[in-house]
Amino acid sequence: MCGNNMSAPLPAIVPAARKATAAVIFLHGLGDTGHGWAEAFMGIRTPHVKYICPHAPTMPVSLNMRMSMPSWFDIYGLSPDADEDETGIKRASENIKALIDQEVKNGIPSHRIILGGFSQGGALSLYTALTTQQKLAGVVALSCWLPLRNSFPQASASSANKDMHVLQCHGDADPLVPFRFGSQTAEKLKSLLDPANITFKSYRGLPHSACPEEMVDIKRFIEKQLPPISDE
């Protein structure tokens, strides 16, 4: 993919072990890159699935004294009533939609694509899935929140994903994105989507990170939502 419009290096990719008939696009957290997550997916890979872990562009982040770091959009604060970078969130979301379109051009239909992410990346994946007209296979949202939550349900009125499945995971000892943000987000999602399709899993003692038990849950979710298809 040339001219990646996120002005960032090309994504870290874990290719499918055989013909790719499905994909996972996973967005890292603030200050990180896609490499660590690509490595994590190597450990739980499914043979017909391609894993794409893009890198966020580098920008000054208000929350961190305007220091420049990889970030999908600016963050002003982590409290529920903090102002949000609406322009940046919407711009980042358009970039993710373009990445999904790129995979569709590569021959993987959008309904065979799971979008996911951790923390800021998980927030962006939820916002994108709820506002896109691309039908997705599901979302994996880790240790995160729903951005611009007051713009819903209007923002998701024309979404193609009213019946999509969501796996939301959160550590109950998260000091950065408090556990209650995660559980409140799950309740909000249940008001926007079919509540039967929202799974919220908590992990005892887990801080703002992932754990092996969670990775197994993610693997099971991916295998369920992206089963092999007969022509592989």
Show which residues are catalytic: 119, 174, 208
CA 202 to chain centre: 17
Angle at 32 between CA 225 and CA 89, to 5 degrees: 70
DSSP state of 112: G
Provide the phi-psi class of 31: left if phi over 0, else alpha when psi is between -120 and 50, else beta: left
- Angstrom distance (rounded) from CA 133 to CA 138: 13
Q: Tokens representing 5?
A: 């419009």
In sequence order, the 6+-apart residues with CB closer than 8 A to the CB of 205 are 171, 172, 173
Provide the phi-psi class of 119: left if phi over 0, else alpha when psi is between -120 and 50, else beta: left
DSSP state of 201: E
Decide: 156 and 164 in contact? Cβ < 8 Å: no
